[in-house]
A and B are shown apart, each in its own frame.
Chain A
Amino acid sequence: MTKIDSKIPDGNLAEKWTKFKSSVPLVNPSNKRSLEIIVVGSGLAGASAAASLAELGYKVKVFCFQDSPRRAHSIAAQGGINAAKNYQNDGDSVYRLFYDTIKGGDYRAREANVHRLAEVSGSIIDQCVAQGVPFAREYGGLLSNRSFGGTQVQRTFYAAGQTGQQLLLGAYSALQRQVGMGNVELFTRHEMLDVVTIDGKARGIIARDSVSGALERHFGHAVLLCTGGYGNVFYLSTNAMGSNVTAAWKAHKKGAFFANPCYTQIHPTCIPVSGDHQSKLTLMSESLRNDGRIWVPKKENDTRKANEIPEDERDYYLERRYPAFGNLVPRDIASRAAKERCDVGFGVGSSKMAVYLDYAAAIIRYGKGEANKHNMHSPTDDEIQSMGKAVVKEKYGNLFDMYKQITGEDPYEVPMRIYPAVHYTMGGLWVDYNLMTTVPGLYALGEANFSDHGANRLGASALMQGLADGYFVIPYTIGAYLAAEIRTPSMSTDSEDFVKAEKAVQDRLETLMNIKGSKPVDYFHKRLGKIMWDECGMARSEKGLKASIKEIQALQKEFWSDVKIPGEINNLNPELEKAGRVADFLELGELMCIDALDRNESCGGHFRLEYQTEDGEALRDDAKYAYVAAWEYEKQSSFKLHKEELKYENIKIAQRSYK
């Protein structure tokens, strides 16, 4: 049986990474040329890893299901990327970023990994600027910063509300440069459908060419899964339509442990659901909480329009409950607070499941600031409004436009209506310090792994982690494994292990096609999503979780007997692709509920109704649950729990307070 060994280097926390880098085995340049690495996924983690490994001389193959690596969902990240540069002279440091991340994660992340993340954060900004990423700048030409939730410093670098896009295009450029040089072979519109293991080591993948439907076998000395998170298990989320758990789930079934699957991030500021037809939810960046104020009416079931409700009849509930952090409390806290207000009848909008995010005060504040800048001594209200709106437009224009397109309302004139939505998954494949899963040679990077965010991720830290893993961690840590593989020649994909793996994939696809039931894939996906949102979403309970596990098992059976997939197996068939993904979500959803049921405490995004303080805050149980829950797949609906104990040697573990 696999034993969990996190392989955290010895020594002082602040020296671990430096010492590791100086002592990790190296692979000489000529040996690198004969070592092949498969990278699945082309988002921030995948593109940065593939480019960096190819620059080092490894032979790299990159796979993505989209038509271009540039489409990966990292592209949609809005607000920014954290780095401990302390350019603002406001007291930031590597230690502070480390501390904020551990605390933000509600003391459920691994200290050594998080410290390394904080250490390399500064180099990420340097690298991106060198690539030509056009970050926001001040008039003096230097980089601009803003603030995000759960921090009291300004350490977030950004490019308007399109930071993910700009960072991904930077990594994509670096990747395409290597493609052009012949160091990376690119496979677009390809979906990984299994990991191939030989003698217990990951040695390749089976991928399906989505256009021809043909299955392909690819060998690699190592396989990197950079395939993102699994928020789409909820059907409605801020993830892209294609975002899925399939690669990670196949790895799980081949022996990779799945860690903390129940840790889901529900983002507080999304555009509310408008109807049953809805296919996805849209995020309004957390950066909006820098300047926007969140409120609901003080009166229950108030039907007045927002602008008709006077100031003293508004409840700025985040400022009231959390004066120290105000509107910038971490996401889990802001989401729960919004749900609490709506559940007791103070919600707004036609569904009453929304709260206001108001820019009126910020517009006036910025307008007055501009008037001062331009030496206008008695500006009119109209002038203040128009100058203030111009500043807001520069900072958040694309977000305001997006809101208007979707809702038909103008957020410069009326407050936005927002509500929490599934956004990110902190859980993922269990990895050691080297980012290797429990399958030797199989790695997981970025959102696909579990490692850095504990039970709640802070804003602007996902981009940081994806790029840290790809640019600055894996190029070093993979040497620890590949240095021992230099005598392993490239293997033929005609071997029995490859043939068998491909046959299993083929059989599964044919089984799906042959069900010929009566309901489209979406029907099952929506039902799974509703179960997950109601019982494994923002609030969970023993009773609800136990019932959900049964419901999901029944839904699995129904899916495998009644799903209807049109079209052909050997042609572009989006419904077949979707069906495979939903089948995996149905199994993952069950494990998420099992994990949530096991964790008899509340922490971060995991809120069990039975475990809360008198004022409704999450109540951890450190004596019993300060561990990473790493689940081993045994057979259908049967998972074995392994515990990685979390030791806090540098941070005093405490009840998280943002008051």
Chain B
Amino acid sequence: MEGNLNLTLKIWRQKNTQTAGKFETYQVSGISTDMSFLEMIDVLNNRLIEEGDDPVAFDHDCREGICGMCSMYINGRPHGPNRGVTTCQLHMRSFKDGETITVEPWRASAFPVIKDLVVNRSAFDRIIAAGGFISVNTGNAQDANNLPINKDNADDAFAAAACIGCGACVAACKNASAMLFTSAKISQLALLPQGQIEAATRAQAMVAQMDEEGFGACSNTGACEAECPKGISIENIARMNREYFSATFSSK
């Protein structure tokens, strides 16, 4: 599978939140198909530095698909053309020689651009702070095996908890809705007996924070699920809606 690619990159450049951005075009050559997409950007950046230009700012950290930091919108899709991977796991063997690749930041008013491809996702932290937890102080816990949990529920909770908080769901959604992210945490905790005590207040508080941050509503197109690098299911949104409505109806 060895091979070298010559590519045209159209990359969104924006100095900071206040300034308007625009696309710049760059040529890169001799890109190995074994490189990851981010390593290809590294190559471009080191060349830009040597030429005296400002390199492209982008978020990245673990480079193994779990930290959720990388966030590029590639050829109109969050994390690029492949399903079930983050940008750092996208390899250049997925592209063809001579191709033009367009790279943009996540687009959502709740995720303002900080610079180039870097956006501010702190809204997600605030949604979790509003209720994405079980209120148990350190030292309060009973023996772990005193609480048997049905394996299917535990597995479903795990599947929801696999969310990496990258924001691809928001970027993919035409309404920039954060329902998939929020519902994944609500579902994880609602599926577990430990989480049920606060289920009602949690659903209300997290949904309220989500709305306050300026994320849009859900219109069931399912783009979030299709683009989620961790395959978080849209069923979580249904579960969140059930939790939310039952909490609203039963609230005093």
Contact = CB atoms under 8 A, between A and B. Distances in A.
Given A127-B141, A134-B188, A211-B114, A173 B128 contact: yes
Interface of B: 1, 15-16, 32, 34-36, 38-39, 42-43, 46, 48-50, 52-55, 57, 59-69, 84-85, 89, 91, 93, 114-115, 118, 120-122, 124-125, 128-145, 147-151, 154-155, 157-158, 161-162, 164-165, 188-189, 192, 194-195
Interface of A: 48, 51-52, 55, 66-71, 73, 75-76, 85, 87, 123, 125-143, 159-160, 162, 165-166, 169, 172-174, 176-177, 179-180, 186, 188, 211, 238, 240-242, 274-275, 277-280, 282-283, 401-402, 405-406, 408, 471-472, 475, 518-520, 522-523, 564, 566-567, 571-572, 574-575
A177 B145 contact: no
B43 A126 contact: no
Contact of A241 (B60, B157, B195): B60
A125 B192 CA distance: 16
B39 A277 contact: yes
Contacts of B121: 67-68
Contacts of A162: 66, 162
Contacts of A133: 161
Nearest to A48: B138
B129 A159 contact: no
B133 A574 contact: no
Given A275-B34, A279-B39, A571-B16, A129 B141 contact: yes
From A162, A279, A571, name the one whose CB has the most chain B CB atoms within 10 angstroms.
A279
Contacts of B35: 275, 277
Given A278-B39, A408-B1, A68 B189 contact: no
B125 A186 contact: yes
A572 B32 CA distance: 29
B195 A127 contact: no
Given A51-B138, A130-B140, A132-B189, A76 B148 contact: no
Contacts of B149: 137, 141
B145 A134 contact: no
Contact of B134 (A131, A282, A572): A131
Contacts of B137: 52, 55
23 contacts: A66-B61, A75-B164, A123-B139, A126-B141, A129-B141, A130-B194, A132-B189, A134-B188, A138-B151, A139-B151, A140-B148, A159-B161, A162-B66, A174-B136, A242-B61, A277-B32, A278-B39, A405-B85, A406-B89, A564-B50, A566-B48, A571-B115, A572-B16
A238 B63 CA distance: 9
A165 B66 contact: yes
B133 A174 contact: yes
A402 B64 contact: yes
Q: 7 tightest A-B contacts by CB?
A: A141-B148, A180-B129, A130-B141, A173-B133, A126-B141, A134-B158, A176-B129
A142 B154 CA distance: 10
A242 B16 CA distance: 22
A126 B139 CA distance: 9
Given A134-B188, A241-B63, A275-B32, A141 B128 contact: no
B16 A130 contact: no
B115 A277 contact: no
Given A67-B122, A75-B67, A123-B141, 15 more contacts: A71-B69, A76-B62, A128-B144, A129-B147, A130-B194, A132-B195, A134-B161, A141-B148, A159-B161, A176-B133, A180-B129, A241-B61, A405-B65, A564-B49, A567-B54
B22 to A, nearest CB: 18
A132 B194 contact: yes
Contacts of B124: 68
A406 B194 contact: no
B128 A73 contact: no
A274 B49 CA distance: 25
Nearest to B64: A282
A93 B34 CA distance: 46
Contacts of B69: 66-67, 71
A401 B85 CA distance: 10
Contact of A134 (B49, B53, B129, B154): B154
Nearest to A567: B54
B125 A68 contact: yes
B131 to A, nearest CB: 8
B144 A126 contact: yes
A613 to B, nearest CB: 36
Contact of A277 (B43, B60, B154): B43
A71 B133 CA distance: 17
B67 A277 contact: no
Contacts of A68: 68, 121-122, 124-125, 165
A141 B125 CA distance: 31
A139 B150 CA distance: 7
A82 B32 CA distance: 40
A160 B159 CA distance: 10
Contacts of B55: 566-567, 574-575
A274 B34 contact: yes
Contacts of B192: 132, 134
Contacts of B1: 408
B149 to A, nearest CB: 5
